[in-house]
Amino acid sequence: MSLITLQIGQCGNQLGHSFFNTIFEISNQKPNAANYNFLEESQFRFFSDSEENASKNYARSILIDTEPKVIKEISTFGKDVAWSYRDDCRINVQQLGSGNNWALGYLNHGPELQERVLNAVRKEAERCDNVLGFLLYSSVAGGTGSGFGSYISEVLRANYPSVSSASITVWPFQRGEVSVQAYNATLSLSSLQKSSDAIFVFENDWLLKLCHHKMGLNKSSLNDLNTVASQQLANVLLPVERSQGIVPIFNDLLAHLVPHPQFKLVGLRSVPQEPLASLPFSAYTWPGLLRSLRRMVLYNTVVDEANLFCNRGVKFVITTSQQTCFASGLDYFAIAILRRTRAQRAKEYCKKDGDFEEYGRLPDSQHRSDAFAAILASAEEGDVESIKRYYPGRYIRYKGNILSSVTFRTSDLGNSCGVCICGPPRCGKDAGVRRLGNLFSKPVNKWLGGYRNEKFVLLSDIEPSHSAWLGYYMKIWSDRYPFHAEIKGASMLIRPIKIFCISNFRLDYVFSGQVLNALQARFNVFDQYDKTVERRRGPLRTGQCLAALEGRVRLRGDGIEGKCSCGVARRWKMILWRRRQRKMSLLRSHRWKMFLWRTGRMMAILRRRSLSIRKNSQVLK
């Protein structure tokens, strides 16, 4: 009896590939009289033999995706191992995926690929003696896995109503990067609830926790998460050997786990939870493993934290994440979960029976106001790493406010600090700047999130398409004065020592007009095309307003007041005094001309009057 697997989307294909690797490693162990039937049945359930090569096995799986990248990687990997996927079981569309859109996968890609999927399923079913059921691997957060997976589940239910179908779904991280993951998950689960017989749930947060405790990995990758999930699935889906022989328990398992059509969500718990390298040195008993499973079911956890602490010899510990207190005696292990309380009260509760042993140190339980005061003090000192370490929850929630409170370098510089390096590709522009050290490399946008008071800021690959908006920010960043750097949800006042801009284009090719003039006044340009250096232009002194705005000279309409505090002010005072003297001289000359003109006119009038008097006197005679 065989199980046909459908790997849908990027997550489904990667998880399914890891699952087949796990099954192949188990089924290819060295056989003996005790496990021969089990290994043969395990391999036959998930793999089929090749007609051309007896040593080659093909997975009973169908690969489905709306972009060819992941399927191509998996197919390339299968050429070097003893098993692979058949060529007619790879279905993909030469597109850019579903864009995290459930409706695009359900309404567009689903009807488009329906016939191809049914043909592939029919061919794979014809290779099986008896189809035990379908396994659908998918994610509920993306577009292909959630939308297209829901549609294929409904199609299989309509075409194969008597065959059991189970969906292996991966739930996203609680703080995922997909903004619509909640809507995709809701729509996907609503459809799978009607078309699947059972829905196996894997949460990424719990898988990450299992990687830390079970595999001993501090930094886990997606491959590690898939390996842990595959091992848990293998524990459930592999055949069971009983007194009557090998029993395929898939249908019986679904019948017992899903007693009601509305209760289809299934969670997996497995023990022991130890790294593989530690299993040969561990001593477990069936009663102890059953107690571990019981604790995990009672407290709804996938990690037996109590067993983890017991194996390490810890008799008393308090975890700050859930404020859970663990206490153990010599022959028993008692768990007391105290929510919304402090560590000291949890400790007193565990000590009430009197028979205990205490190890370690209680975590510091600060009051809310004390915690915020400590966070503010660390932020003002610029110690953001300690906030991440001791207050991770508050850092995530108040990240913008914390970063805006950090005290960075804000002193004015002596001059503009821009340095522009332009030249052909692969000429060492970035490498030369990165050798300076203490460098913050930012993407070509307006955000400076992640800046931690570095001396130098590097802005790489400036292109002409950025000229519409980048010139405004470059003028502010490269000036001598501190500026408010924008981060998500807040801003912070900073002043780096140097701003390096790297580009394959010259500055006058990217910018133009007044923006270019402003940048040339702020940037030293190192042109590696012509092997030249163009120094930044000095400030333009355009008149009396410059000295007046700088506060060194106070101007009035009738002269200059105040003392000269520097050479520039003295020069302006001399210039203004000369202008005033020139005006006074012009005024004097004008008044003298007017005096001469008036004097001449009076003399002319007197001359005419004297002539008229003479004429009158002659007439009277």
| pLDDT band at residue 383 under the 50/70/90 scheme | confident
For 48, the enclosing helix (H) or strand (E) is strand 47-49
Q: Which three-class secondary structure state does DSSP give residue 357?
A: coil
Backbone φ/ψ region at 307: left (φ over 0), alpha (ψ -120 to 50), beta: alpha
pLDDT at 598: 79
Is the pLDDT at 548 greater than 60? The verdict is no
pLDDT at 282: 73
- In 3D space, the residue among 527, 533, 522, 536 whose CA is nearest the CA of residue 509 turns out to be 527
pLDDT at 318: 40
pLDDT at 472: 92
DSSP calls for 253-322: HHHHH--STT--EEE---S----GGGGGG----HHHHHHHHHHHHHTT-SS-HHHHHHHTT-SEEEETTT
Taking only the tens place, the pLDDT of each residue in 328-366 is: 332 233 333 333 345 566 667 666 666 555 555 555 555
Higher-pLDDT residue of 228 and 76 is: 228
| pLDDT over 70, % of the chain | 75
Q: Which three-class secondary structure state does DSSP give residue 219?
A: coil
- Give the separation between CA 573 and CA 544, rounded to whole angstroms: 10
What number of CA atoms fall less than 13 Å from residue 500's CA on the CB side?
24
- The answer to whether the CB of 95 falls within 8 A of the CB of 66 is yes
For 516, the enclosing helix (H) or strand (E) is helix 513-520
- The answer to whether the CB of 409 falls within 8 A of the CB of 451 is no
178: CB partners within 8 A, 6+ apart: 100, 141, 142, 172, 184
Dihedrals phi, psi of 504, to nearest 5 degrees: -85, -5
Mean of pLDDT over the chain? 77
| pLDDT over 90, % of the chain | 12
- Domains, the chain: 2-268 (3.40.50.1440), 408-531 (3.40.50.300)
Taking only the tens place, the pLDDT of each residue in 247-302 is: 556 777 787 788 787 888 888 888 777 766 666 777 777 787 887 788 777 777 77
Which residues, in sequence order, are bridge partners of residue 336?
A: 325
| pLDDT band at residue 326 under the 50/70/90 scheme | very low
| pLDDT band at residue 619 under the 50/70/90 scheme | low
- Give the separation between CA 374 and CA 20, rounded to whole angstroms: 50
pLDDT at 247: 59
Q: Which three-class secondary structure state does DSSP give residue 28?
A: coil
pLDDT at 501: 94
Is the pLDDT at 551 greater than 60? The verdict is no
pLDDT at 531: 86
Higher-pLDDT residue of 284 and 447 is: 447
Average pLDDT over residues 210-239: 79
Q: Which three-class secondary structure state does DSSP give residue 162?
A: coil
- Give the separation between CA 183 and CA 140, rounded to whole angstroms: 9
Identity of the amino acid at 449 = G
pLDDT at 369: 63
Which 3-state string (H, E, C) describes 517-567? HHHHCCEEEEECCCCEEECCCCCCCCCHHHHHHCCCCEEECCEEECCCCCH
| pLDDT band at residue 583 under the 50/70/90 scheme | confident
Higher-pLDDT residue of 279 and 532 is: 532
In this structure, what token pair is assigned to residue 197?
């017989």
Full-model pTM: 0.51
Average pLDDT over residues 388-403: 78
- Scan for tokens 């390490």, then name that residue: 312
- In 3D space, the residue among 69, 88, 66, 87 whose CA is nearest the CA of residue 78 turns out to be 87
Taking only the tens place, the pLDDT of each residue in 23-72 is: 888 877 766 766 677 777 777 888 887 766 666 788 888 888 888 888 88
- In 3D space, the residue among 421, 399, 320 whose CA is nearest the CA of residue 362 turns out to be 320
- In 3D space, the residue among 49, 53, 54, 75 whose CA is nearest the CA of residue 127 turns out to be 49
Identity of the amino acid at 165 = S
pLDDT at 458: 94
Taking only the tens place, the pLDDT of each residue in 119-168 is: 988 988 888 888 888 999 998 888 888 888 899 999 999 999 888 888 99
pLDDT at 342: 56
Taking only the tens place, the pLDDT of each residue in 458-496 is: 999 999 999 889 999 999 999 989 998 888 777 888 899
pLDDT at 519: 92
**Cβ neighbour number for residue 155 with a 10 Å cutoff:** 18
Is the pLDDT at 242 greater than 80? The verdict is no
Average pLDDT over residues 556-575: 55
- The answer to whether the CB of 459 falls within 8 A of the CB of 563 is no
Is the pLDDT at 524 greater than 60? The verdict is yes
